Structure 1
Amino acid sequence: MKKTDQLNNRRAAGPDLNAPQQVWQNTLLIGAAVLVSTVLLLVLLGVRQDLLAVAAQPVFVLKVVFVAALVLSGKIACKHLSLPGARLAMLPVLIAIPVLIMAGMALLTLTEAAPDQRARLFWGETWRTCSLLIAGLSLPIFVAILKVMRDRAPTRLRLAGAAAGFTAGASAAVVYCLHCPEIAAPFVAFWYVLGMLIPASIGALIGPLALRR
């Protein structure tokens, strides 16, 4: 049987997402990748010294909840894009809702701030490095998610690659919260999302190559 026929039969049958061994292996692989990203952050950047104190502040909690919500949305997107013929209509909405909520919080923060404070709230002190660090920390997670999705034989390869990159970026953003000194909503709404869009863009470019079986 030709390889193309084998692939078509595999796609038609669909992946066995309920196989306990496969679920365990995928979870372990992605968990290990997140651990690698965390270790890289601890070794190269370190944890912010006032993390325990700032963790109780509502703005910090909002930041963590925001990026965690995008991780969940990205995970759902990756799962659907890994399945041939899966319905995708609601996926943009799942990702847009947290982004729009944070954008609204950012706009409210800027509106209520004094004019001379608005630039600082947006640019912060680390805008030059924040997005790049998130994108860099996403690489181990990105590779792991691509591996998992490739085994499930996706058909929309560019979209699947973009979803993998975005989910990896969001996961890396959660890790980066351990170090990042910025908590202002305007900063998070723009520079964090930009850090997620970098691997998402790369995923869209390499998806047809990295995900083709």
Structure 2
Amino acid sequence: MKTDDLIDMLARGPDVRVDAHRWRRFLVPALLGLAACVLLMQLLLGTRHDIGRALLLPAFWIKFCFALVLSVVGAFAVRKVSAPGAKLGGLAPMVGLPIVALWGLAAWVLWQAPPDARAALVWGQTWRVCTVLIVVLAVPVFIAALVAIKKRAPTRLRTAGAAAGLASGATAAMVYCFHCPEMSPAFVGVWYVLGIAAMTLVGALIGPKVLSW
């Protein structure tokens, strides 16, 4: 099917609307990767003991929605750049908008906080492991994204790999929210973003090697 996809995409252009069957090619690996990510989180870390109370706090939903938005943008990027000759188009600014918004909120929170409390808002208690755990949890989603991309015969391999890294890192951050005790937007704006950025960089580096066809 990869050769057929290539011929079809070259004939009709990379921006053609995909049908339901092609969406399923991405949906199934995505759901499997997400399920594996959740299972890995439960096996390694578990859900925070006070998750019921955390779900009532706006700060939890801020960090969750931040990761969710980036995960959705990453998923669309994966689907888009997997086609031969495809470009990100308007998706690139959409990656930066939630990050800038979060950093703006973090700056406001730090400005409102007493000077002696600002360091704790940035470093929290888990800064040593947060980024690493996001990267570890992202692995199954990353593999699933690479499998889905490779089936479509991409030509921009580095960009496609970066898109897979972005999607997997953001999805892992979203799942990690249910374990992480940190609530400060400043913490999320540093250590969550670093975890997502690390996966994006990994994807860009290994994309040309694993996605070549």
TM-score when normalising by structure 2:
0.91
Q: How does 1:151-162 map to 2 (within 5 A)?
A: 151-162=151-162
- CA distance 1:180–1:109, shift in 2 (3 Å): same
Runs of 4+ aligned structure 1 residues displaced above 3 Å come to 5-11, 13-22
Partner Cα separation in structure 2 for residue 199 and residue 87 of structure 1: 20
Mapping 1:29-108, distance limit 5 Å: 29-108=29-108
Render the CA deviation track for 1:81-111: whole Å, top value 9, x for unaligned.
Answer: 1123434332221100000000000000100
| CA distance in structure 2 between the aligned counterparts of 1:122 and 1:111, rounded to whole angstroms | 12
**Separation in 2 of the partners of 1:205 and 1:90?**
23
**Whole-angstrom distance in 2 between the partners of 1:43 and 1:7:** 38
1:7 and 1:86, CA in 2 relative to 1: closer, same or farther beyond 3 A?
closer
In the TM superposition, residue 173 of structure 1 has moved relative to its aligned partner by: 0.6
Q: Distance in 2 between matches of 1:65 and 1:40?
A: 21
Letter of the aligned partner of 2:151 in structure 1? Answer: D
1:185 to partner: Cα distance: 0.3
Determine the C-alpha separation between the residues in 1 that align with 2:90 and 2:25. Answer: 28
SS at match of 1:125: coil
2: CA distance between counterparts of 1:148 and 1:211? Answer: 10
Matched, 1:116 2:116: yes
Task: State the match for 1:9 in structure 2.
Answer: 7
Counterpart of 1:129 in 2: which secondary structure? Answer: helix
The residue number in structure 2 matching 1:148 is 148
How far apart, in 2, do the equivalents of 1:202 and 1:128 lie? Answer: 20
2:121 paired with 1:139: no
Residues in 1 aligned to 2:4 and 2:70: alpha-carbon distance in whole angstroms: 35
Alpha carbons of structure 1 residues 103 and 212: separation in structure 2 relative to 1, 3 Å: same
Residues in 2 aligned to 1:81 and 1:35: alpha-carbon distance in whole angstroms: 24
**Structure-2 separation of matches of 1:10 and 1:138:** 32
In structure 2, what residue type is equivalent to 1:109?
V
CA 1:151–1:165: 2 relative to 1, 3 Å: same
Shift of 1:153: 1.3
* Distance in structure 2 (CA, Å) of the matches to 1:80 and 1:116: 46
Aligned residue identity for 1:187: F
Query: Among the aligned pairs, what percent are the same residue?
Result: 40
Q: Which runs of 5+ in 1 are unaligned?
A: none
3-state SS of 1:172 partner: helix
Shift of 1:39: 0.9
Q: Take 2:133 and 2:179, find their aligned partners in 1: how far apart are those partners? A: 11
The separation in 2 between residues aligned to 1:17 and 1:146, in whole angstroms, is: 21
Q: What is the alpha-carbon distance in structure 1 between the residues aligned to residue 99 and residue 46 of structure 2?
A: 27
What code does the residue aligned with 1:169 have? Answer: G
